Amino acid sequence: MNILDIGVDIVEIDRIKDAINKNERFLHRLFTDNEIKYFESKGFKTETIAGNFAAKEAISKSIGLGIRNYTFKDIEVLRNSLGKPIVKTYNNLSKICIEYNVLEIKVSISHSEKYAVANAIAITKE
């Protein structure tokens, strides 16, 4: 296995909070129904939402395209039973991953009081 690329993103949690408060469609524009259900299970904590947002940005950088030819909703970041973030891709991003031979995208998310950060690694076939 090889690494296609890595990505990192940091976001101010208050910026995400402001976006949610200003635009009632914010969550539905950027996150899948499953992600929104996850946020609900966590009491819609802004740091959790900001962490997922940072993860989506980091994932887009790990593919090397940014958000081009696909949308944020083509990336889904959920958690396994231990809380580890798991990445799923859909629609055009799934096609891009096949084209780039991406087997898996690993992501790690963390946050402090003011910031959420995520890094991602796109792993390819040899």
**40 annotated as belonging to a binding site for a ligand:** no
Could you tell me the two tokens for 12? 């101010």
Q: Is 54 left (phi over 0), alpha (psi -120 to 50) or beta?
A: alpha
Determine the 3-state secondary structure of 80 from DSSP.
coil
Token output for 112: 């402090």
Q: The whole model's pTM is what?
A: 0.94
The answer to whether residue 59 scores a pLDDT higher than 90 is: yes
Cα–Cα–Cα angle for 5, 124, 86, nearest 5°? Answer: 80
pLDDT of amino acid 8: 98
The lowest-confidence range among 14-18, 61-65, 113-117 is 61-65
In the chain, what are the domains? Answer: 2-124 (3.90.470.20)
The SS3 call for residue 39 is helix
The pLDDT of 45-53, averaged and rounded, is 98
Q: Do residues 120 and 10 make contact, with C-beta atoms less than 8 angstroms apart?
A: no
pLDDT band at 66 (very low <50, low <70, confident <90, very high): confident
Task: State whether residue 53 is helix, strand or coil.
Answer: helix
Residue-wise pLDDT tens digits, 84-122: 999 999 999 999 999 999 999 999 999 999 999 999 999
Please tell me whether 74 is known to bind a ligand: no
